[in-house]
Amino acid sequence: MWRDIRSRYRQAVLGILWALIRPLTTMLVFAFVLGRLARVDSEGQPYALFSYTGLLAWGLFGSSVQSASQSVLAASGFVTKVYFPRILLPLSSIGAPALDFLVAVLLLPPLLLYYGVALRVEILLAPLVVLWIVVAAAGVGVLLAGIVVRHRDFGHATTFLLQLWMYVTPVLYPINLLPDHLRAWAYLNPMAAPVELFRATVLGTPVSPTGCAVSAATSIAFLLLGLAVFARVERHFADVI
């Protein structure tokens, strides 16, 4: 994990500040295009805050999945020479994205102050939501880590697929913008409820208890599937790397 963190910003002039710059600039672009020009509903909250909270939650998930999916290939030298529980590779790779998330969260208090939004007591529940996001990311990341070793095309497609996944997740829009017949299906997305919940702990926006239950079940299903697939294919890692 520490090796990933050190190498992440090695020789970068701004170093770990990139963890703050990326979500901030992304938020500014979407706040202008979707918030100011398209006037996307933000449930009574400033669109900049609405989108930034969603981008924080998604950024943790997306970066964790991306890192985990490539973790076995990145450590191919260790995999072929030293025995250790291979599952540690995708799980430990989540450490660097988690640090990025913690840095990006530092911008929340100034944004809340700027927009005159008071801190809510519900924010104390945010760590539990973050844990949920990490579990969801671990499930998907472990699943992809096992698949990518044998099918390298999945590695190239991961970034593109995660981008599409973000757009079908209520990161930049509230889920109530979806038609009723699609809204129930939307919660099969394991990140639909965590994004809503994280935003709710900061801004007090509404959440669906039923939707949370469905997304939680999907997150657990992905975790179990990921662990099962990884356990099945890891015995052949040394042969295919």
- 125: Cβ contacts below 8 Å, ≥ 6 apart: 197, 201
Cα 63 to Cα 141: distance, rounded to the nearest angstrom: 10
Question: Is 188 strand, coil or helix?
Answer: coil
DSSP 208: -
Residue 148's nearest CA partner among 42, 71, 46, 63 is 71
238 pLDDT higher than 90 = no
Residues near 110 by beta carbon (within 8 Å), at least 6 away in sequence: none
> Distance between CA atoms of 33 and 177, rounded to whole angstroms?
17
Delimit the domains of the chain by residue range.
Answer: 2-240
In 3-state terms, what secondary structure has residue 40? coil
> In the predicted model, is pLDDT for residue 240 greater than 80?
no
Q: How many residues does the chain have?
A: 241
Lowest mean pLDDT among 119-123, 186-190, 234-238: 234-238
H and E: helices and strands count for the chain? 13, 0
Write out pLDDT tens, residues 108-163. 999 999 999 999 999 999 999 999 999 999 999 999 998 988 887 777 889 999 99
Q: Is the pLDDT of residue 71 over 70?
A: yes
Residue 88's SS3 state is: helix
Q: Distance between CA 27 and CA 150 in Å, rounded?
A: 36
